[in-house]
Chain A
């Protein structure tokens, strides 16, 4: 499988960026980033969705004109009336392909081609086959799934004509809640939040009582402090049959990140050199790769190879 076509994707932006910043970020991605698929859409908080809706069409068109496939990713946690209306509106009105992030979106999307996002729990071959029978064409695996299980899923996915996608860069989504932890940090509630999450383009860092950076709050989502970085695992993922490699957007130079990962996928840059380049980025947190290796997700397995894929 190592000779198979591979594609880089840019996952949905998880954070509340100012609308103009959001627009300009995607314009630059359209013009400069070697990614084949870009996921748009608000996946964290239904209150944020209207904030950048004025620019959505322009961004979607610019990405499409640049040859990128645009996929609309749906809300991860759907409970309130506004949550539910957002999901049903997206599923019933959007012309773009849609990625379902919870079972309520799956209700609307069954029977037509769609994608399954990492916030849906696809842990095994039975779930994969079931969702494929409902029209799933692309499945992004849960962040905590170890490589051994991903290998089994890749083999099944090939026979079901489903593409497997794996996140390889960016903070890892660890939990969702009905409660907004950004609002709570500011002494507010979700209903009275006044969008305080806009202050933190990469999330709000939580430290332990020993002042060890530990977790990151992003509205109702809890993320890892560390940035997932599977650049050294790319050759193994390629050999296993992973087709798509997801980069999760951050405020660092995502064009540089995409270019580095693309070079590794193309076999023109060795993994050790790629890692060195990524370590030069101004990211204020270490890298992690523990989940892939079946170890604690915050951990980092030290690379001892410098290979080309």
Chain B
């Protein structure tokens, strides 16, 4: 990384699962908040989460009155015959005055760019555009203004991508990290019949089981399949297939075949990311509580402002908020992750 390049002030993009969380994020220092509607048009379609059209309109007003932005995720893949719901979502976003919509499906992108040419489009991580060529295709065909990069690139690769694309970059810095290429994972559907791409749900709560036996061993299941087991007193994670423990013929003991249950925390790499040409830093977690949103947003606000003032980022408190209190820099640090 070239240390001669001064870090640029990035936009801090924060999650909101409810209108109250949106206000909390804005008050804690988010530059931009992203959210979704209460249906399958977004990739966090969980019960009790997300916004009605009226709530979205009021939330946009709240953010705009304070000089902040709101993005609406319309980032799932409409199955043929059900496209109208996604058209409606784009229309609701436009009439609520959101600052951009985040899209993944080429059909949704084509529709939005054709029918709402004034509406700013961001390319969702769900589009899985992981190369400059894939990103350029979306920019040239749909007028994409910003790409949310998949969590599989190193900081050096992000800098390289930045030099080869005609749009801004948004990069994940904190929260849940999926092991699979986003927008191309059917593992949940394989087990539960609910599709991450079409229904907007990964590991649906209705299919999750926690079973404790007489010894206090906790078994977690998704559908009928065991995902992991924890000894008495161990901190058990929410069962997702790509963070489960499995056996295979070349391992003597069950192992985390894909990845251990850990969260992404790139706070130590913030200065590098800011030099790599990243316009916006994204925090994952629309499903998380207001208290969580408040802590994480406030910590990152302090860190970003500190770096811009020439200080070292101090984010040690964040580890308490990571999954199982374990964190990783994932692919971002080096290629050995792969």
Interface residues of A (CB under 8 A from B): 76-80, 83-84, 87-88, 102-104, 106-108, 110, 119, 121, 123-131, 134, 142-146, 148-150, 152-153, 156, 172-181, 184-186, 189-191, 204-212, 214-215, 217, 222, 224, 290-291, 294-298
Q: Within 8 Å CB of B241, what residues of A?
A: 215
Contacting pair B248 A205 (CB below 8 A): yes
- B83 and A124: CB pair below 8 A? yes
A102 touching B134 in the complex, CB below 8 Å, given contacts A177-B179, A296-B191: yes
B contact set with A: CB distance below 8 Å: 77-83, 104-108, 110-111, 127-134, 136-138, 140-141, 150, 152-153, 157, 179-181, 183-187, 189-193, 195, 197-198, 219, 223, 225-229, 241-242, 244-251, 254-255, 257-259, 331, 335-338
Q: Which residue of B lies closest to A208 (CB)?
A: B226
Closest A residue to B160 by beta carbon equals A81
B105 touches A104 (CB 8 A): no
Identity of the chain A residue whose Cβ is nearest the Cβ of B257 in the assembled complex: A206
Select which of A103, A144, A215 is within 8 A of B246 by beta carbon.
A215
Say yes or no: A212 contacts B258, CB within 8 Å.
no
B78 touches A123 (CB 8 A): yes
B228 A209 Cβ-Cβ under 8 A? yes
Is the CB–CB distance between A191 and B186 below 8 Å? no
Whole-angstrom distance from the CB of B103 to the nearest CB of chain A?
Answer: 12
Q: Is the CB of B137 within 8 A of A297?
A: no
- The contact of A126 among B107, B134, B157, B336, by CB within 8 Å, is B107
CA distance A59 to B82 in the complex (A): 43
What B residues does A181 contact at CB under 8 A? 257-258
Contact B190 A174 (CB under 8 A): yes
- B197 and A206 contact, CB distance less than 8 A: no
A174 near B187 (CB under 8 angstroms)?
A: yes
CB distance from B116 to the nearest CB of A (A): 14
| Pairwise interchain contact B193-A206, C-beta atoms closer than 8 A | no
- Give the docked Cα–Cα distance between A290 and B110 (Å): 31
A221 to B227, CA, bound (A): 19
Inter-chain CA distance A102–B108, complex, in Å, is 17
Q: Which one, B157, B186, B226, B227, contacts A143 given CB within 8 A?
A: B186
Q: Separation in Å of the A155 CB from the closest CB of chain B?
A: 9
Pull 18 A–B residue pairs with CB atoms less than 8 Å apart, ordered by A: A78-B130, A103-B138, A104-B133, A121-B183, A123-B105, A127-B105, A146-B79, A149-B79, A175-B181, A175-B187, A175-B242, A176-B184, A178-B181, A184-B258, A190-B335, A291-B189, A297-B193, A298-B190
Q: Which of A107, A176, A207, A211 contacts B181 (CB 8 A)?
A: A176
The verdict on A204 contacting B248 (CB below 8 Å), with A123-B198, A177-B180, A177-B258 known, is yes
Taking A123-B80, A124-B78, A176-B184 as contacts, is the C-beta distance between A103 and B137 under 8 angstroms? yes
Give me the 5 closest cross-chain CB pairs, A-B, nearest first: A126-B107, A178-B152, A104-B133, A127-B107, A152-B80
Instruction: Tell me the complex Cα distance, A94–B223, Å.
Output: 45
Name the A residues within 8 Å of B80 (CB-CB): 123-125, 128, 145, 149-150, 152-153, 156
The answer to whether A78 and B134 touch across the interface, beta carbons within 8 angstroms, is yes
- Taking a contact as CB atoms under 8 Å apart, the answer to whether B137 and A104 are in contact is yes
State whether A224 and B190 are in contact (beta carbons under 8 Å apart), knowing that A84-B131, A126-B111 are contacts in the complex: yes
Which residues of A lie under 8 Å from residue B336 when comparing CB positions? 189, 191
- Whether the Cβ atoms of B248 and A185 lie closer than 8 Å is yes
Q: Which residues of B contact A144 (CB under 8 A)?
A: 186, 189-190, 195, 197-198
Contact of A207 among B132, B191, B246 (CB under 8 A): B246
Shortest CB–CB separation between residue A306 and chain B, in angstroms?
A: 27
- Which listed residue (B157, B183, B245) contacts A79, Cβ 8 A? B157
A121-B77, A123-B198 given; A78·B133 CB < 8 A: yes
Q: Which of A83, A156, A215 has the most CB of B within 10 A?
A: A215
Determine the distance from Cα of A205 to Cα of B248 in the docked complex, in whole angstroms: 6
User: B185 touching A152 by the CB < 8 A rule?
Assistant: no
Bound together, the chains give a CA A153 to CA B186 distance in angstroms of 20
Q: A152-B80, A296-B193 are in contact. Are A83 and B131 (CB under 8 A)?
A: yes
Instruction: Verify B193–A152 contact, CB threshold 8 A.
Output: no
Report the Cα distance A146→B331, complex, angstroms: 33
Collect the chain A residues with CB atoms within 8 Å of residue B130's CB: 77-79, 178
Cβ of A207 and Cβ of B247 under 8 Å apart? yes
**A290 x B193 contact (CB < 8 A):** yes
| A152→B189 CA distance, assembly (Å) | 21
